[in-house]
Structure 1
């Protein structure tokens, strides 16, 4: 069975990679861009949708200002990109916002940033995959109604690809990411040319009219209108997610790491900003009307729209209009957009495990998250992220409109605290830097981070005000719970460290005064003789065999055999009037400890090693229960003495071949 599992693992993940090959997994910029920028680039697929969807509540007149809302989003995006270019130079170790906040604002701020980022990474996967499932359903009618199942399958596939390793998954994802950029670029250029030529067709939804809700019959006038405009801006700021992933992934770049990361950030910001504003301008030019409830919000000549109308996402409507007469282009854009949304989650699959590894190293998460798998990826972090994302997808039925309300809260918390931390960083460095040129550069950097703080702080306030009752409270609650959990984990590790650390007294008592060895005997057979031999080889101060007198006849037979074999170890029979096995042994062990508290008691337990799971049910049950109770007894060591039964032959997985380093990895 283990051989089959190992073969399946190798087919899915590939051969193990030696530790010294870690340097070969580093990424050039051409591969790093699709890996780390796919999240930000994919926002082109849903950020414009969310802006239009929010403004649609106030009618057609409100959607006319969507390009201006997009322009505000793009401004914040470019400011954040410029700010993070400072971060990757100042803190290239891969800690990103967590390291910036911890170093400059204190551990509590750093842990708050870490909580926000971890939650945001999970939401990135859930939102991106759910959006991809909706795009796939718009292109493939058979998938309609099965978006949740398709999203879960996509998460599983993405998980397997990332378990194969960062570089290998990046190479696989590079082609569709560049193809997405090319197709969106072609669509934008074609649309611009047709618009200038005066023959740009209208979108499929342009024939409909948007009916404003009763609260917005006056459009965007008044406080309600301003609040709706702020909500649209907040939803559009989903375009900024993914920018922070590069600062967390600097160690994955080839040297010079900081320069390559900064260049990739610049490319990400330029491409993403151009796409977002272009999509919104073209949506306005083609008359795209996108509503949360088309049957209620859209009308046709004053009456209801067709009952079978299926609303396509904004990019789908644009592709259908711009490439009129050439359906393959529409299907190509829809398919590659759905695929890039799946790959957008790959940004989180690279950021979450790295951040989790750093937090585990600092003691805030379980140590297992710091362990690399046999493909040199942080396998446990990848699996944790996948499991959390699947839970969210199932809980929200893969509906982007519901999930998006939880989104971007975490990332803007980390943005804001990171910018504040960088301002303190430059202020501290300026006090120690005498060189005028360097000081001038630092002052410019501080100004950039100051503008970034103002922008991201303002967006955070807007997001909290406009999205709190729409689901953002769930994100805040999750961040708080994760913060408390990580503090608890760190407190546990600190408590264990203090408890196990040596002081002068404990060092003096580290070695016991004597060793009292007990060999548990149920019958005289080969496992018993092996346990006796092992115990004697350890040369304890006191050695005795112990059996429990449950059945008088069996005890008498055992005693006669013991004496007949003339074994050089005394046999002690413990009385058990209630036919218990564990309690008499525990009482005897504790009596030894009471008489000699500095003695070490070693209990040798003969144990069968079986080859089949069902055999385990037939053996070792008494030994398992006894070991569990002895482990909680101070001053007692439990030594299992294995005896391999014939069914264990060929169970190690290494028979007939040389040992391959990394085959059995440490957990």
Structure 2
């Protein structure tokens, strides 16, 4: 069984990589762009859908403003990209928004950003993969009703790929990401050429009308219309998710890290806004109608289209119309769009583990998240992200419309707090900087970050106002719970560190007066004799063997055999009228401690080491309980004396310890757990 699991692990993850090869995992810009930008680029596939879907509540006339909503999103994207270029130069260590906030605003601000980003990364995977599953179901009718299961399978595949290492997963996902970029930009150019020639076709939904909500029946006026515009804008701002991932992933870039990260950010921003505006303008020009509930909102000759109509995503409708005489073009667009939606989750699989590692280093998350796995990736963080996203997908049945409401709240919280920290960062440096050219650069950077703070702060307020009751409150609750959890973890680690710290009192503490050694015995066999030999070799002040009287006749035979073999260690029999094994031993050990508090009691437990999982079930139950109880007794040391059975031969070269310094538990079996003991019988 261990050999099988090891072979399966090597098949899925690959062979371990030496620590000295860490530099070989660093990413050039051509691979870093698809690795860190796939999330932001993929939002082009669903951000236009959300804009049109929201505006549809006000009827057909409202769709004419979609390009202006898109331009507002582009403006915010430009400001955020410029702001984060300052971040990657000022804080290249990989802490990103968390480091900026903690350094400049304090631990509470850093925890706020960290909790927001962690929740947002989980949502990124859930939303992206669920959206990809919806696209796949549109192309493959057999997937209808199984989107959640398909999405979970995809998450597991992505998790496995990322466990192989950042560079390997990036190289595997680079081609689909570049194919998506070229396809969408190419489709946009083709569409604009046909628009200029007056040959632009209409999409399948162009002939429909949209029934406006009652509050918009009098036209596009009033407070309700303004609120709807803000809602459409906040939904379109989903296009900004993923921008922050590059600032968290600077250490993964090749040198010069900051310069390469800043260049990748600029490329990301330029490509994303180009694709976003191309889709929105073409969709509006081609008469696209898109509604949250198409069966009732979309009208054909004044009558709802009903449930028989299947509404396709915005990109699918545009591609189908543009390539009506060239079906290969449509299927290519659909394929790369579905792929990029799935691969968008890869950004989170690169950002979440790095951030989790930094938080673990700072005692805010379990320290296991700071450990690299066989392939030099933060394996525990990757697994945690995959499991959390899969649970979320199943909870919301992979419905993007529901998940999207939880989205982008966290990222704009981190945007806003980070830009506040950057403004304070430049202000602090300007107090001591005297060089005029350096001061000029700092002042320009502060202006950029101040504008970023203003814009992202306003967007955050809009997002909270328009999405709070529609589901964003769940994301905020999750962030608050994660914030409190990280505080509790930090308090625990600080308390343990203080408790274990070496003080003058510890260094000057008097050594134990004596060592009282006890060997547990149930029968005379090789493990018992080895335990006795080890105990004698340690030269304790007092050495004795003890057994528990469960069956008086058997105990009498054991004592007779003990005397016959002339074993030079006294054997004491402990009474157990209720046939217990653990309690008499623990009570006896504690009595020694009460009589001589300055003595150390060492309990030697003979132990079988077995080689098969099923052998663990047959052995060791009593010994495990006994050792657990003794571990909680002050002044007591439990020493395991292993005896390797034939079934365990060769396992030492094949298996690794579960954790540094931990014994591989193939079965801790001994006299107090063997089936031949009274407890076993």
- Same-fold status (TM-score > 0.5): yes
**Corresponding position of 1:641:** 641
Please report how far the alpha carbon of residue 306 of structure 1 lies from its aligned counterpart in structure 2 after TM superposition. 5.7
**Corresponding position of 2:606:** 606
Please report how far the alpha carbon of residue 277 of structure 1 lies from its aligned counterpart in structure 2 after TM superposition. 1.2
**Corresponding position of 1:489:** 489
Please report how far the alpha carbon of residue 559 of structure 1 lies from its aligned counterpart in structure 2 after TM superposition. 1.2
**Corresponding position of 1:408:** 408
Please report how far the alpha carbon of residue 512 of structure 1 lies from its aligned counterpart in structure 2 after TM superposition. 2.6
**Corresponding position of 2:342:** 342
Please report how far the alpha carbon of residue 218 of structure 1 lies from its aligned counterpart in structure 2 after TM superposition. 2.7
Q: Is 1:173 equivalent to 2:156 in the alignment?
A: no
1:518–1:544 Cα contact (<8 Å) kept? yes
**Corresponding position of 1:592:** 592
Please report how far the alpha carbon of residue 663 of structure 1 lies from its aligned counterpart in structure 2 after TM superposition. 9.8
Q: Which residues of 2 match residues 308-387 of structure 1 at below 5 A?
A: 308-387=308-387
**Corresponding position of 1:10:** 10
Q: Is 1:214 equivalent to 2:214 in the alignment?
A: yes
Q: Give the paired residue count.
A: 661
What secondary structure does 1:207 align onto? coil
Q: Which residues of 2 match residues 104-503 of structure 1 at below 5 A?
A: 104-305=104-305, 307-503=307-503
Q: Is 1:52 equivalent to 2:52 in the alignment?
A: yes
C-alpha separation in 1, matches of 2:104 and 2:397? 40
Could you list the per-position Cα deviations for residues 91-143 of structure 1 after superposition, in whole angstroms to 9, with x for gaps in the alignment? 00000000000000001110110000000000000000001011111222222
C-alpha separation in 2, matches of 1:238 and 1:511? 64
C-alpha separation in 2, matches of 1:131 and 1:62? 25
Please report how far the alpha carbon of residue 376 of structure 1 lies from its aligned counterpart in structure 2 after TM superposition. 0.5
C-alpha separation in 2, matches of 1:410 and 1:383? 21
Structure 1 pair 486–203 and aligned structure 2 pair: CA distance change class (3 A): same
**Corresponding position of 2:551:** 551
C-alpha separation in 2, matches of 1:539 and 1:106? 55
Please report how far the alpha carbon of residue 613 of structure 1 lies from its aligned counterpart in structure 2 after TM superposition. 2.3
1:517–1:604 Cα contact (<8 Å) kept? yes
2:296–2:306 Cα contact (<8 Å) kept? no
Identify which range, 23-32 or 582-591, moves more after superposition.
582-591
C-alpha separation in 1, matches of 2:562 and 2:469? 77
C-alpha separation in 1, matches of 2:56 and 2:402? 17
Please report how far the alpha carbon of residue 650 of structure 1 lies from its aligned counterpart in structure 2 after TM superposition. 3.8
What secondary structure does 2:633 align onto? coil
Could you list the per-position Cα deviations for residues 30-64 of structure 1 after superposition, in whole angstroms to 9, with x for gaps in the alignment? 00000000000000000010011011011111111
**Corresponding position of 2:75:** 75
1:128–1:341 Cα contact (<8 Å) kept? yes
What secondary structure does 1:574 align onto? strand
Identify which range, 303-312 or 569-578, moves more after superposition.
303-312
What secondary structure does 1:66 align onto? helix
Please report how far the alpha carbon of residue 647 of structure 1 lies from its aligned counterpart in structure 2 after TM superposition. 2.2
Structure 1 pair 520–37 and aligned structure 2 pair: CA distance change class (3 A): same
C-alpha separation in 1, matches of 2:485 and 2:220? 43
1:374–1:665 Cα contact (<8 Å) kept? no
Could you list the per-position Cα deviations for residues 138-183 of structure 1 after superposition, in whole angstroms to 9, with x for gaps in the alignment? 2222222221111111101111110010001100111010010000
2:40–2:344 Cα contact (<8 Å) kept? yes
Please report how far the alpha carbon of residue 665 of structure 1 lies from its aligned counterpart in structure 2 after TM superposition. 7.3
Please report how far the alpha carbon of residue 447 of structure 1 lies from its aligned counterpart in structure 2 after TM superposition. 0.3
Could you tell me which runs of 5 or more consecutive residues in structure 1 were left unpaired when the two chains were aligned. Answer: 656-661
Structure 1 pair 56–160 and aligned structure 2 pair: CA distance change class (3 A): same
C-alpha separation in 2, matches of 1:384 and 1:642? 35
**Corresponding position of 2:533:** 533
Please report how far the alpha carbon of residue 514 of structure 1 lies from its aligned counterpart in structure 2 after TM superposition. 2.1
1:358–1:370 Cα contact (<8 Å) kept? yes
1:137–1:147 Cα contact (<8 Å) kept? yes
Identify which range, 189-198 or 491-500, moves more after superposition.
491-500
What secondary structure does 1:377 align onto? coil
C-alpha separation in 1, matches of 2:653 and 2:292? 56
Please report how far the alpha carbon of residue 577 of structure 1 lies from its aligned counterpart in structure 2 after TM superposition. 2.0
What secondary structure does 1:363 align onto? coil
Please report how far the alpha carbon of residue 617 of structure 1 lies from its aligned counterpart in structure 2 after TM superposition. 2.0
What secondary structure does 1:64 align onto? helix
Could you tell me which runs of 5 or more consecutive residues in structure 2 were left unpaired when the two chains were aligned. Answer: 663-681
**Corresponding position of 2:571:** 571
**Corresponding position of 2:509:** 509
2:294–2:306 Cα contact (<8 Å) kept? no
Structure 1 pair 499–576 and aligned structure 2 pair: CA distance change class (3 A): same
C-alpha separation in 1, matches of 2:459 and 2:452? 11
